[in-house]
Amino acid sequence: MAKPKYHFNPKTLTYEKIEHSVFYYVKRVLFHLFSGISLGLLFFIAFIFLFESPREKQLSDQNKKLRSQYNLLNRKMDVVQDVLNDIQQRDNNMYRVIYQAEPIPESVRNANYVNNNQYKDLQNNSNTELMVNTSKRMDQLSRQLYIQSLSFDEIVELAKKNKERLQCIPAIQPILNKDLKRTASGYGVRIDPIYQTPKFHAGMDFSATTGSDIFVTGDGVVTFTGWKQGYGNTVIVKHGFGYETLYAHLSKIKTHRGTKLKRGETIGEVGSTGKSTGPHLHYEVRYRGKAQNPANYYFMDLSPQEYDEMLQLSANCGQVFD
C-alpha cells in the first residue's frame, strides 16, 4: 500500500491528506504496464537488428557468394563481348566487303529483344538489378551470336558462288609491304601536304623508293595508262564485278591499255610524278565508280593481326604524300 500523502493548507495552517480517486490508480497501473511493454518491444527490435540468427547468417553468406559469382560472370561476359565485337568488326569490314554483302547495321546486331516479363521472376529480390542486368546481357550476347552465325552462313553461300569474283577483286597490297613499314597514309580526311588544309584522301599512300615494283591487285584489264592531272603517270585497271583500281605518281608505266592482267603482275614502278611530295604509290580502289577504303582489300595478303596493324597505320594522319 502506498504511503498517504499530505499537503499544507495555509488557510487552516494544517496538513491535509490528499485523497485520490480510483481512476487515478487505474491510470497509474496502465501507465506502468504500457511503459514496460514499450521498453520490452524496443529491446526486442534492437536485438533483431543487431544480431542475426544462424539461419540468417547462412543466408547472408550465401547471398554474398552469389553476388560475387554474378560479378565474376559479368566480367567473363565482358571478355566474350570484346571477342564478339572483334568478330563483328571483321565480318562487316572484311568478310562481307569481299562478297559485297551489305554490312549488318549496328541496330540489327544490337537489337535487343527485351520482354520485361521475362525478368519478372527476378524482381523483388535484394539483388534485382544485378540479376536482371546479367540476364539481359546474356540474352543480348546470345542474340548477337545468333545474328553473327547467320551472317557467316550467308558468307559461306556467297563464297561458293564467287570463285571467279575472288580472282578479280583487289585483294593484295600493290607493292611489297610484308612488314607494313611502307604504309604511309590511309583513306579519309587528311591534311593536304601542299595546301595544309583538310582534304579527302580517296586512296592509300605507300612510301617506297623510286623504281620499286607495283603489282596489280586482282585479275583485270588495263583501261588507262598515261598522265592524269594531279596523279601524274597513272594506270587504271578494270577488274569486273564493279571494281576498278588506280595506281598513281608512277616513274615508269610497264603495261598497255587493253592488256589482260593476272593478280600480282608488275604494271609499273614507284615515282613522284604529278602532285606529290616524295616517291610513293597512291592507290585507289573504286566500286561502281565510288572510292572505297583500300584497307579493306588486302585480305589475301594480311593475317587478321596484320590487318589490325594496317588499320592503325592507315589511320595515321601525319604522312600524306597525296
- Provide the binding-site residues for Zn ion, judged by CB under 5 A: 205, 282, 322
Shortest spacing between CB 287 and Zn ion, in angstroms = 18
- Side chain identity, residue 50: L
Residue 280 contacts by C-beta under 8 Å, 6 or more apart in sequence?
184, 205, 206, 207, 208, 249, 270, 272, 321
- Write the DSSP string, 196-264: -SEEEE-SEEEE--TT-EEE-SSSEEEEEEEEETTTEEEEEEEEETTEEEEEEEESEE---TT-EE-TT
Shortest spacing between CB 204 and Zn ion, in angstroms = 7
- Side chain identity, residue 296: N
Collapsed DSSP state (helix, strand, coil) of residue 190:
strand
H/E stretch holding 267: strand 266-269
Which residue number, 219 or 284, has a Cβ lying nearer to Zn ion?
284
With b for 16 or more beta-carbon neighbours within 10 A and e for fewer, the 299-308 pattern comes to: bbbbeeeebe
Q: Which residue is nearest to Zn ion (CB)?
A: 282
Which residue number, 95 or 297, has a Cβ lying nearer to Zn ion?
297
Which residue, 200, 199, 188, 154, is CA-closest to 315? 188
Shortest spacing between CB 227 and Zn ion, in angstroms = 17
Torsion sign (Cα): 84, 86, 89, 95: negative
Shortest spacing between CB 242 and Zn ion, in angstroms = 22
Cα–Cα distance between 133 and 214 in angstroms, integer? 54
φ, ψ for residue 232, nearest 5 deg: 70, -145
Shortest spacing between CB 190 and Zn ion, in angstroms = 8
Shortest spacing between CB 299 and Zn ion, in angstroms = 21
Which residue number, 282 or 286, has a Cβ lying nearer to Zn ion?
282
Shortest spacing between CB 292 and Zn ion, in angstroms = 14
Which residue number, 205 or 219, has a Cβ lying nearer to Zn ion?
205
Cα–Cα distance between 58 and 55 in angstroms, integer? 5
Which residue number, 244 or 322, has a Cβ lying nearer to Zn ion?
322
Which residue number, 240 or 278, has a Cβ lying nearer to Zn ion?
278
**C-beta of residue 282 within 8 angstroms of C-beta of residue 153:** no
Which residue number, 119 or 215, has a Cβ lying nearer to Zn ion?
215
Helix 128-161, helix 54-90: angle, nearest 10: 20
Q: How many CA atoms lie within 13 A of 315 on its CB side?
A: 6
Shortest spacing between CB 202 and Zn ion, in angstroms = 8
Which residue number, 134 or 271, has a Cβ lying nearer to Zn ion?
271
